[in-house]
Amino acid sequence: MKAALASIATLALASTAHAAATASRDVQIAAAHAAMENRDEDRAVALLEQADRDFPDDPEILRLLGSAHAFAGHYPQAIAILKRAQTLAPDDNDIDAALARAYMWSGDRAAAEAMVAQMERRSPQDAEAAAIRRQLESKPSATRGFGLAVAQGFSRVSFDNRPGQNWTTTTLAVYGRARPGTTLALAAEREDRENFVDTRIEGRIDQRLGPHVHAYVAVAGTPHANFREKWGISGGIEADVAPFATLLADLRHAEYRDVAVTSFLPGIRLTPARLGVSATLRMINLWDEQGTHRSGVSGRIDGTLTKGVTLYGGAATYPDTEAGITRQVHSLFVGGTLPLTDRLRLRAGLDYDRRQASYTRKGGSIGLQFGF
């Protein structure tokens, strides 16, 4: 009899604890909903992050947390969190809808369209999928995704055995969406090193192969090249292998006046959702035409602040070919972007390069990107 009473008491306590936990979860979610209704996205994010700690791996909490980040303009965090929720509940159309909206608001309309297509295959009459598709199709100018970017760079270069120089770099680029998932770009970069001037022209095509795979191919040439490559070809792929991890691989070949080099850059991008940043690590491998191998590494951190402001910083040590000579370069760089309007962004950066047995360069750049 005592054993039976003890079992009943244990079950009652467990039931009470479960009910209390459920009530706590519901209270936290309700408070987050209230914060969102008051347009207080930062408070909603804080409440849902606490809920995520209290109830880990809860797909609904993660969906709400990712949506709150998306409303706040923290698109990398939103997408990473919603991918995590998608892994836990792969057939949940509400999570897919939230992820599609985060992609759309971030400007990645191809990924949003792929996510909507996935929802439609699963549930052809899904109202959310239809609503998001109408939004994607309601702005033809945004669907075209045309843009123009201009930038000006200035550098002070100190040589080991001769007077210093001032170098400038002017860049002009145009891009446009050819069709859903395909973007074309053309860029020209004029670099003036006082005694020599090179103008490098590059054409590039980016193709989304699915919601989680992206690839590109680029061809570049420098007429009458002095220190840049005469011509080069490159290609790469990015594949999401987890909600927080993307594998990267780039292959490049360039022909200079006297030498040819091939490089391979494998890497990984990590986006821990709770930290609000992404970290990209790459290994840099270079082979010359004699097969001599040199290597290096690079690391970069990107973060998104409120109102779409982004910051980045990083460092690298790597082999680089210039004027047909390959030397090791040590580099530091920082910068960011600031939205001025819905269609205009300001970009700025500072960088430092130390080219072994050659020169030291300290520079900066400023530019504008227009979307229309």
Give the whole-angstrom CA distance, residue 318 versus residue 334: 18
Q: What is the mean pLDDT of each run of 10 residues along the chain (372 residues)?
A: 49 44 73 76 83 88 88 84 89 89 83 86 84 73 68 95 93 87 92 94 90 90 94 95 88 93 96 75 92 94 78 95 89 94 90 94 96 76
- Residue 5 has a pLDDT of 44
Q: Which residues span the domain enclosing 85?
A: 2-140
Residues in the chain: 372
Q: Note whether 157 and 128 are same-domain residues.
A: no
Instruction: Indicate which CATH number applies to the domain containing 40.
Output: 1.25.40.10
Q: What's the predicted TM-score (pTM) here?
A: 0.68
Q: Note whether 213 and 337 are same-domain residues.
A: yes
- Among 92, 116, 140, the domain-final residue is 140
Instruction: Indicate which CATH number applies to the domain containing 329.
Output: 2.40.160.40
Q: Note whether 107 and 171 are same-domain residues.
A: no
Q: Note whether 288 and 308 are same-domain residues.
A: yes
**In the chain, how many domains are there?**
2
Q: Note whether 92 and 106 are same-domain residues.
A: yes
- Among 111, 140, 169, the domain-final residue is 140
Q: Note whether 93 and 197 are same-domain residues.
A: no
Tell me which residue of 178, 164, 221, 214 sits closest to 198, measured CA to CA: 221
Q: Note whether 135 and 180 are same-domain residues.
A: no
- Among 109, 140, 171, the domain-final residue is 140
Q: Note whether 307 and 338 are same-domain residues.
A: yes
- Only one residue has tokens 């965090």, namely 77
- Residue 208 has a pLDDT of 81
Tell me which residue of 360, 285, 363 sits closest to 326, measured CA to CA: 285
Residue 327's H or E segment, with its range, is strand 325-339
Structure tokens at 54: 């209290």
Q: Note whether 157 and 106 are same-domain residues.
A: no
Q: Note whether 79 and 132 are same-domain residues.
A: yes
- Residue 19 has a pLDDT of 43
- Residue 20 has a pLDDT of 45
Q: Note whether 217 and 325 are same-domain residues.
A: yes
- Residue 286 has a pLDDT of 96
Amino acid identity for residue 110 in this structure: A
